[in-house]
Amino acid sequence: MNTELFFKSTDDLEGLGLGFSLWGPGHIIWLGCIILAVVIVSSIYRKAGYRKRRIIAGAAAFFLPVSEIVKDCYTASIGQFDIEYFPFHLCGISIFIILIDYLKPNRFTSQLVMYACMPGAVAALLCCNWTAAPFFNFFCIHSFVFHAVIVIYAICRYRGRELRPEYSGIWKSVAVVYGWAIPMILVNNRFDTNFMFLNKASEGSPLTVLVDLFGEDMYYVSFGVFVLVVWHIMYGFYILTNRAVYRGGALEMGV
């Protein structure tokens, strides 16, 4: 492994042709490993007692801010830290949502975990925007692992029957995510950033289809409607899963 490439930032790697292709063999292997990790960890969590569950959930909840701080400290040490590294993306604010959910489990954050944090992380893993970095690069590894841990936390809580996605969770997520999008539009316009992909669609994501179909002038509207439709589809999936797997049974630990 080239240690020099391992520590290079994505800015330095842009345009060098050393990255990977979406849905190429390497990407699929990463996704396969993540799915395996989700299944194994969530299965252990489901069978574990309260104390062991708190250890597993805590490890995930604290890993997210610690790993982000480590990444930012390294980026600052090489003189490349700027506003784009602030945790203003949906997966960035997921750090705080999940940490609060772990420290003080409640119905509000649990709904955000299932409707906002988890699908946002899944979308990031499926449509990576760090493809300029090779697989043996620190930032590439961090991005895959970081988003995988968000998914693991959510699925553990769900399979552990500690939360049940509710229809009201959609509108709680609308309030938080859409509410957060408003200042991010202002930040993006002021600093030429693309937080929450509000200025332009991430290459290779379904958002590019929205631009093709409805045009750039309707991007905000089509993006908002698209997210709302996805959340309703997710709610239907949760209902079917609860009936098929859990037969509508009560939660083990109530939020």
Do the beta carbons of residue 163 and residue 251 sit within 8 Å?
Answer: yes
Rounded Cα distance between 235 and 238, Å, is: 5
Give the max Cα distance, the chain: 54
DSSP per-residue codes, the chain: --HHHHT--HHHHTTSS-S--TTSHHHHHHHHHHHHHHHHHHHHHHHS-HHHHHHHHHHHHHHHHHHHHHHHHHHHHTT---GGGSS-SHHHHHHHHHHHHHHS--HHHHHHIIIIIHHHHHHHHHT-S-TTS-TTSHHHHHHHHHHHHHHHHHHHHHHTTS----THHHHHHIIIIIHHHHHHHHHHHHHT--GGG-SSPPTTSTHHHHHHHH-GGGHHHHHHHHHHHHHHHHHHHHHHHIIIIITTPPPSS--
- pLDDT of 50: 95
Nearest in space to 150 (alpha carbons), one of 69, 230, 67: 67
Rounded Cα distance between 137 and 1, Å, is: 9
- pLDDT of 13: 73
- pLDDT of 248: 54
- pLDDT of 59: 98
Tell me the mean pLDDT per 10 residues along the chain, length 255. 70 74 94 98 97 98 97 88 92 97 95 96 93 89 97 96 92 96 95 93 84 89 95 93 66 47
Orientation of helix 25-47 relative to helix 50-77, angle to 10°:
140
Q: How far is CA 56 from the centre of its chain?
A: 18
State the amino acid at position 223 in one-letter form.
F
Rounded Cα distance between 192 and 82, Å, is: 12
- pLDDT of 164: 87
Do the beta carbons of residue 99 and residue 69 sit within 8 Å?
Answer: no
**What SS3 string covers 149-169?**
HHHHHHHHHHHCCCCCCCCHH
Write out pLDDT tens, residues 236-251: 999 888 777 766 554 5
Write out pLDDT tens, residues 65-82: 999 999 999 889 888 888
